[in-house]
Amino acid sequence: MTVHHFAAIDLGATSGRVILATIAEDSIKMDEIHRFPDPIIQMQGHFYWDFPAIYQSVITGLAKIAERGVTIEAIGIDTWGVDFVTFGKDGTMLRLPYCYRDPHTVGAPEKFFERMSRKELYDKTGIQIMNFNSVFQLDTLRRNSCSALEAAEKILFIPDALAYLLTGEMVTEYTIASTAQMINPRTKQWDLDILSMLDLKPENFGRMTMSGEQIGCLTAEVQQLTGLGAVPVVAVASHDTGSAVAAVPAEDENFAYLSSGTWSLMGVESPEPIISDESFAMNFTNEGGIEGTIRVLKNICGMWLLERCREEWPEMDYQSLIAEAEAAEPFRSFINPDAACFANPASMTKAITEYCKATSQPVPESIGQFTRCIFDSLALRYRQVVEMLRDLSPVDIQRLYVIGGGARNQILNQFTANAIGIPVETGSSESTAIGNVMMQAKWAGVVASISDMRAMIRHSLGDSQHYTPAESEVWAEAYEKYLAVYKDM
């Protein structure tokens, strides 16, 4: 029996992991070797990623793999999108990278639109307008005469920066670059007009690399630090959602996906970008996927809402929260999960309270009512987005696959099935890491295509759940109530 081992470095917005994957007999086994926080430092009025700490945690995780005496065939890296690290002419990091939640880009899109219209930017890139997109971060740094940007020889997105520290090779992986709102999705190359507005050129970034290509091998220094050999580092779908979507266990093309975690990313897989007046009005994004596909999707503020509320309820464990939500009165109050007031409030419960007051709804008073408000609102927001996708996309959406951590949220998944009126199936809660590993496996010749990857993933899934829609009339009435209080506050 041939056995293959791969390492996945999987970084989320709150924590990171180094995972050892074993593929044998068409099955995938994932072993979490090292979990660590992705620290955010508040300093001098800004929020930064503690990038050296993240790098050190990655090294620690790889060293733990070496201690097991396992020979790995490759390493892949995936992270959140848009954020980047600047490097000087001597190849050293110039400063800590800003976190996308830093407030310095508040109002930044409007500043940019004084020189290029919102519609033109969207037509060029097909990317959803969000104030933290890389284009607005870079434009803000340019306007503020950022010394690190002025001195930068190279700008590398977070997974590319980690790959550089591991291999010494500077690349720009396509799926992560596509989140920046500076790539033409038709040509899959930089838009020169946008770069020019930022006083940048393609040479300011690493060489463009597609998922499935080898970046390089571990440097002598990293080999010494970890105890590993000259292991290849492979460009996977470096944007975590790209890796997650690669792991959707679908048998055909008639599906939508919901990558559910801190953010909810809901969309369809398309062979071509969908850029139109309608997609612009609905603010849909076209991000790069594996094998040339486009992920047509919308970013939705997901479990961030509950995560922030839980900071105010330290005595409540998750199962107790679920029980409280199930016992609470349904459809008592709703919020727009994507309203600006929920982006990063000092108090999430206060922000929800103020939203309900402003829309003349009952204010949640108990933990169960707050939690039920969030779950009801997310499920109905998902219906809203599915209906938009049906208007935009040629895909005949017959089922929704929930992947990521949200695959374990049984109450929200049932609510979602009820709201959208089609079956909901779950993929793995480890979808991001599995997609990372499967692209390495494709590079190594273990599988040959997306369909092969998904067949192996289906074969490996032992905990897939199926949710059948119920109470359709009740949820249809709730949807009308939700739309009546849907505000972008």
Q: CA-to-CA distance for 65 and 61, rounded, in angstroms?
A: 7
Cβ proximity of 121 and 181 under 8 Å = yes
How many CB atoms are closer than 10 A to CB 276?
14
Topology of the domain comprising 248-427+447-489: Nucleotidyltransferase; domain 5 (3.30.420)
- Tokens 């992920």 — which residue? 295
- pLDDT computed for residue 1 by the predictor: 65
Token code pair at residue 247: 């792991």
H/E stretch holding 182 reads none
Cβ proximity of 78 and 432 under 8 Å = yes
H/E stretch holding 441 reads helix 431-443
At residue 197, what is the residue type? M
> Between the CA of residue 204 and those of 135, 160, 434, what are the distances in Å?
14, 13, 32
Cβ proximity of 21 and 70 under 8 Å = no
Q: CA-to-CA distance for 344 and 361, rounded, in angstroms?
A: 22
Who contacts 181 (Cβ-Cβ below 8 Å, separation ≥6)?
121, 125, 127, 129, 133, 134, 135, 136, 194
At residue 448, what is the residue type? A
- DSSP-derived letter for residue 408 is G
Q: Is the dihedral of CA 413, 308, 333, 326 positive or negative?
A: positive
**Mean pLDDT for each consecutive 10-residue tract of the chain (489 residues)?**
93 93 92 96 95 98 97 97 97 97 94 97 95 97 97 98 98 98 96 98 97 97 98 97 93 93 92 95 94 92 93 92 95 96 93 97 97 98 97 93 91 98 93 96 94 90 87 96 89
Helix (H, G, I), strand (E, B) or coil at 170: coil
The secondary structure of 345-363, three-state, reads CCCHHHHHHHHHHHCCCCC
Per-position DSSP letters for 27-78, written without gaps between them: EEEEEEEEEEE--EEEETTEEEE-HHHHHHHHHHHHHHHHHTT---S-EEEE
CA 382, distance to chain mean position in Å, is 16
H/E stretch holding 11 reads strand 3-11
Helix (H, G, I), strand (E, B) or coil at 172: strand
The question of whether 38 is a catalytic residue gets the answer no
Q: Which of 78, 160, 191, 240 is catalytic?
A: 240
Cβ proximity of 393 and 255 under 8 Å = no
Cβ proximity of 153 and 94 under 8 Å = no
Q: CA-to-CA distance for 199 and 180, rounded, in angstroms?
A: 16
Question: pLDDT tens digits for 246-264?
Answer: 999 998 889 999 999 888 9
Residue 21's nearest CA partner among 432, 451, 454, 445 is 432
Q: CATH assignment of 3-240?
A: 3.30.420.40
> Between the CA of residue 124 and those of 141, 191, 310, 370, 439, what are the distances in Å?
22, 7, 40, 40, 28
Q: CA-to-CA distance for 278 and 466, rounded, in angstroms?
A: 32
CATH 3.30.420.40 domain span(s) along the chain: 3-240, 248-427+447-489
Report H helices in 346-430: 348-358, 367-392, 410-420
Strand partners, 23: 4, 28
Q: Residue 92 class from Cβ within 10 Å (0-12 exposed, 13-18 middle, 19+ buried)? A: exposed
- Tokens 């307008």 — which residue? 129
Q: Residue 486 class from Cβ within 10 Å (0-12 exposed, 13-18 middle, 19+ buried)? A: middle
Token code pair at residue 205: 């970034």
Who contacts 191 (Cβ-Cβ below 8 Å, separation ≥6)?
124, 125, 182, 183, 184
- pLDDT computed for residue 176 by the predictor: 98
Please report how many Cα atoms fall inside a 13 Å half-sphere around the Cα of residue 302, on the Cβ side: 24
Q: What is the pTM of this model?
A: 0.89
Q: CA-to-CA distance for 381 and 333, rounded, in angstroms?
A: 13
Cβ proximity of 133 and 82 under 8 Å = yes
- pLDDT computed for residue 344 by the predictor: 85
Q: CA-to-CA distance for 25 and 99, rounded, in angstroms?
A: 41
Per-position DSSP letters for 81-142, written without gaps between them: SS-EEEE-TTS-B-SPPBPTT-GGGTTHHHHHHTTS-HHHHHHHH-----TTSHHHHHHHHH
Question: At residue 259, what are phi and psi to the nearest 5 degrees?
Answer: -85, 105
Q: CA-to-CA distance for 22 and 27, rounded, in angstroms?
A: 8
Length of the chain counted residue by residue: 489
